[in-house]
Structure 1
Amino acid sequence: MIYPSARAIVVAGASAPVALLIGVLAPAYWVAGLAFLGFLIVLLILDAALGAAPKDVAVTVGGPRSAAAGSELAVDIQVTFAKGAPTDCEIAIGSHYLLEAPNGLRSHAAIANGRGTTIIPLVAIRRGVAGFEHVWVRWRGPLGLVWKQRQLAVTDEIVIVPDIRALRERSADYSHRDMLHGLTARMQIGEGAEFDSLADFQQGMDRRAIDWKQSARHRKLLAKEYRTERNNNVIIALDSGRTMCEPLVGLPKIDRAVSAALLTAYVALKDGDRVSLFGFDSHPRVSTKPVSGARSFALLQRVAGAVEYSDRETNYTLGLATLATGLQRRSLIVIFTDFADTVSAELMLAAVGTLLKRHLVLFILFRDEELEGFAAAEPNAPEDVTRAVTAAALLRQRRLVVNRLRRLGVHVIEAAHDRAGPALVNAYLEVKQRNLL
């Protein structure tokens, strides 16, 4: 594609009043305006013919082939001209709803020896497969009067996966036995319900742990030591309904939940427990059987990455009832969810009540930092007062629901989006230490 540049349009536009003035003051020379217009057309044709033609350009797209949701990535685009290369060019890529370009989708590249390179920074805002499909390259002719442009089709794709950067950065800590429990190895043996060994009774031990029969036989006080039970069932339920797909600090809540869920799943697998994932919105969507061993983490990661974004309202009754049907033994059920009103909260409370009869339920709620900011902001205008009062009312309703959950016996964690994963890991380890399962 070849079309006039802004310089050619300005020159042509500026010549019109000059030609009109010549026609008025010197009618005999009115053809001078036509002559100049013809000269400009010749220059345009000459500028289009000189230099690189659109067919002489080729594009290579580089960069990562996968990225974590919420992470930054850079697309490296290299342009090559077969002949007549310009000094610089402009490059643009197609937009995609999974990607966001903080600096725009267009960039400049300086050309040297027929080649030029530019980098376009992007941010992955959702999980999925993002493709560019087309890349546009345009450059000016030698005279700067025309633009030459070419659209090239590309097949490069970027797979956006759940964010497990926190796990990669601290995998050594989480895989260490002492770090898993946050206590010494002796405390790990001393707590739990599964008998481990007999040890000499020492000051500070629980007197109820004394084994009187063995103490009489050995003529010294001996106490029973227990170890934390393994092979427990940990079910992570992900609500992917409309409320959980709303953005939270630039990323959907469900992606924040998936990252925290995978972090906890990794810790649980390393600690010998069995983990399964369950996703639901208006209907159950994904479900896995309980798996064990660190090698099973890849399976859980694939399933978590397949949890779709939904615009439907969450059906807690159907989702949690389906979850409970497949559980044959007492389990720790971790539920990532959120609620926007008291009506949906009432349905949630009724569904959770059936799980508490047999299982231990732990809720993860993200703090609504936006509402908290509205409620705490200093009012400078009448609309600020209205906004603060509404936010305070919503927060008060949320607090009432959380208190009701706790009175039912549900363990509730409220954490900021960037602290949800560590907070859940700490809660899981506390459950294990206290032998609540």
Structure 2
Amino acid sequence: MKPFLKSIYLQKRFFIAFFGIAVLFVFAYFFENIFGITKIFFGILMALLAFDVLLLYRNEIGIQANRILPEKLSNGDDNTIELTATNRFQFPVSLKIIDELPVQWQQRDFTIHSVLKPSEAKKFTYTVRPTERGEYHFGNLNIFSSSLLGLVARRQQFSAEAMVPNYPSFLQLKKYDFIAFTNKLRLFGLKKIRRIGHTMEFEQIKEYIPGDDVRNINWKATAKRNEVMVNQFQDEKSQPVYSVIDKGRVMKMPFHQLSLLDYAINATLVISNIVLKKHDKAGMFTFSRKVEDRVVAKRRKAQMHLILETLYNVETDFSESDFSRLYIDIKRQIKQRSLFLLYTNFETMDALHRQLAYLQAINKIHLLVVILFENTELQTFLSKPAKDTHGIFEKTIAEKFVFEKKLIVNELHKYGIQTILTAPENLTVNTINKYLEIKARGLL
């Protein structure tokens, strides 16, 4: 009896009818001639209520439903969740589906409304956008079915509790993995960069055949063999490329609900995949008070899986990042000249000057690219007109911060340090462009 009472829900239509009859009973107190009609109405309502309950509970199965979840969610992207429902009643039913979403979304009123014909099966899809890496726990699936009378609804709860991990954006990885090797780069913001000069590694000396570049003739070998010999080159490969993620407190700043740290993590996953596809070695590590989460730059089948699992567990410790420790660790641990993509953020010139000596020292040994983030909220604020003196004052301060960010970029360029200043949402594309440019120009 208790499960039955827990599963039955009186609907809005019943309460409207019941309230109308109650009003008639009040009027019957003053007008006795309508009392009999009111009792008849009340009896009809109770009979319809009993009939509606009988319709919904005569079939023990009622509605069959389940939720289909992906193996893992992609952070910062739209992920599709699928629900299926089958009507086992012999009459059409109206459905109200309430899915118990993970607490991270703080949404308790998520509902789907639909109508199912007898024996009809329907598929429902909705999208979710996670913005925090970690475990997402889905609860039960609740189905409220009602007949055409619509006086009561029968609730069926399907045990669908499940945990889905939210990983760095592997959907972006698949997207850029495809477009980086097609001729449609410009459609997605990627640049096709012309290769400049001879960024080649020597492979062998071979006999000249028509079509070989005469500039590669090896005159000493030609004199010894008494026939024309040329040097054969191959593209430089297996160069180490490290993504270095600052996980200090400056990277916790959110834009579009996603922190700068997560933007950097998503970009690291994508660029690592492209680096490996370009036959270079991909690696990564993070730092704040010390260097952590290290994945040595290698070219192997398991490298992407290792990077993905490492990125999944990266969290900020809200401390001040120690660039001196970063420099010391790079100097001791990484001997081969490498490309470092450093994801960090400086808001003031003073903050840059405190760390500039260490950035210069790293750039002398390796090729360093400092990746900074534009404050898009400031740009949005500046695009709106000021309405009063207080607004003019605020816009002046905002313009000062925007201008100082440009000064930071110029200061880094002055010391020969490659720099990217990008909006967070364009980080991945701009990082790929810079890597392709460096490879084409043979800077590494």
Shared fold, TM over 0.5: yes
Partner of 1:8: 14
Partner of 1:124: 129
Answer yes or no: is 1:364 the counterpart of 2:366: no
Q: 1:74 to 1:377 in 2, by over 3 A?
A: same
Partner of 1:390: 397
SS of the aligned residue for 1:379 comes to coil
Q: 1:289 to 1:191 in 2, by over 3 A?
A: closer
Q: 1:430 to 1:218 in 2, by over 3 A?
A: farther
Give the whole-Å Cα distance in 1 for the aligned partners of 2:180 and 2:119: 46
Give the whole-Å Cα distance in 2 for the aligned partners of 1:113 and 1:41: 26
Give the whole-Å Cα distance in 2 for the aligned partners of 1:164 and 1:251: 17
Give the whole-Å Cα distance in 1 for the aligned partners of 2:58 and 2:327: 65
SS of the aligned residue for 2:154 comes to strand
2:175 to 152, 166, 172: 166
Structure 2 residue identity aligned to 1:166 = K
Partner of 2:283: 276
Aligned counterparts, 1:254-293, within 5 A: 254-281=261-288, 284-293=291-300
Answer yes or no: is 1:153 the counterpart of 2:162: no
More divergent stretch after superposition (349-358 vs 118-127): 349-358
Structure 2 residue identity aligned to 1:47 = D
SS of the aligned residue for 1:290 comes to strand
Aligned counterparts, 1:27-106, within 5 A: 37=42, 40-52=45-57, 56=61, 57-62=63-68, 64-84=70-90, 86-96=92-102, 105-106=110-111
SS of the aligned residue for 2:127 comes to strand
Q: 1:271 to 1:42 in 2, by over 3 A?
A: closer
Partner of 1:331: 338
Answer yes or no: is 1:138 the counterpart of 2:144: yes
State the Cα distance separating 1:17 from its structure 2 match: 2.9
Give the whole-Å Cα distance in 2 for the aligned partners of 1:407 and 1:390: 26
Q: 1:53 to 1:334 in 2, by over 3 A?
A: farther
Residues 390-429 of structure 1, C-alpha deviation per residue, up to 9 Å, x if partnerless? 3212212222332333333321012344543343334334
State the Cα distance separating 1:133 from its structure 2 match: 1.8
2:114 to 97, 109, 112: 109
Q: Is the 8 A contact 2:94 2:148 kept in 1?
A: no
Residues 22-60 of structure 1, C-alpha deviation per residue, up to 9 Å, x if partnerless? 21243x976876775566445434422332469633312
Give the whole-Å Cα distance in 1 for the aligned partners of 2:194 and 2:206: 20
Structure 1 residue identity aligned to 2:30 = V
SS of the aligned residue for 1:144 comes to coil
SS of the aligned residue for 1:315 comes to coil
State the Cα distance separating 1:159 from its structure 2 match: 4.7
What is the aligned-residue RMSD (CA, Å)? 4.2
Give the whole-Å Cα distance in 2 for the aligned partners of 1:242 and 1:419: 21
Q: 1:213 to 1:77 in 2, by over 3 A?
A: closer
Q: Is the 8 A contact 2:66 2:141 kept in 1?
A: no
2:239 to 217, 232, 235: 232
Structure 2 residue identity aligned to 1:143 = L
Structure 1 residue identity aligned to 2:49 = L
Q: Is the 8 A contact 1:239 1:336 kept in 2?
A: yes
The unaligned stretches of length 5 or more in structure 2 are 1-6, 184-189
SS of the aligned residue for 1:421 comes to helix
Partner of 1:191: 199
TM-score (norm 2): 0.76
Structure 2 residue identity aligned to 1:61 = R
SS of the aligned residue for 2:238 comes to coil
Identity, % of aligned pairs?
A: 20
Give the whole-Å Cα distance in 1 for the aligned partners of 2:295 and 2:42: 73
SS of the aligned residue for 1:338 comes to coil
Residues 220-253 of structure 1, C-alpha deviation per residue, up to 9 Å, x if partnerless? 9999787654433221112344443444346443
Q: 1:165 to 1:210 in 2, by over 3 A?
A: closer
Structure 2 residue identity aligned to 1:237 = V
Structure 1 residue identity aligned to 2:18 = A
Q: Is the 8 A contact 2:93 2:146 kept in 1?
A: no
Give the whole-Å Cα distance in 2 for the aligned partners of 1:53 and 1:252: 52
Q: Is the 8 A contact 1:245 1:254 kept in 2?
A: yes
Aligned residues: 421
SS of the aligned residue for 1:261 comes to helix
Structure 2 residue identity aligned to 1:113 = P
Give the whole-Å Cα distance in 2 for the aligned partners of 1:15 and 1:400: 75
Give the whole-Å Cα distance in 2 for the aligned partners of 1:180 and 1:385: 39
Give the whole-Å Cα distance in 1 for the aligned partners of 2:69 and 2:120: 18
Give the whole-Å Cα distance in 1 for the aligned partners of 2:180 and 2:59: 50
State the Cα distance separating 1:154 from its structure 2 match: 0.5
Give the whole-Å Cα distance in 2 for the aligned partners of 1:73 and 1:313: 32
The unaligned stretches of length 5 or more in structure 1 are none
Give the whole-Å Cα distance in 2 for the aligned partners of 1:54 and 1:353: 76
Give the whole-Å Cα distance in 2 for the aligned partners of 1:413 and 1:54: 64
State the Cα distance separating 1:6 from its structure 2 match: 0.9
Structure 2 residue identity aligned to 1:260 = A
Give the whole-Å Cα distance in 1 for the aligned partners of 2:87 and 2:53: 16
Q: 1:125 to 1:349 in 2, by over 3 A?
A: farther
Q: 1:218 to 1:75 in 2, by over 3 A?
A: closer
Q: 1:331 to 1:21 in 2, by over 3 A?
A: same
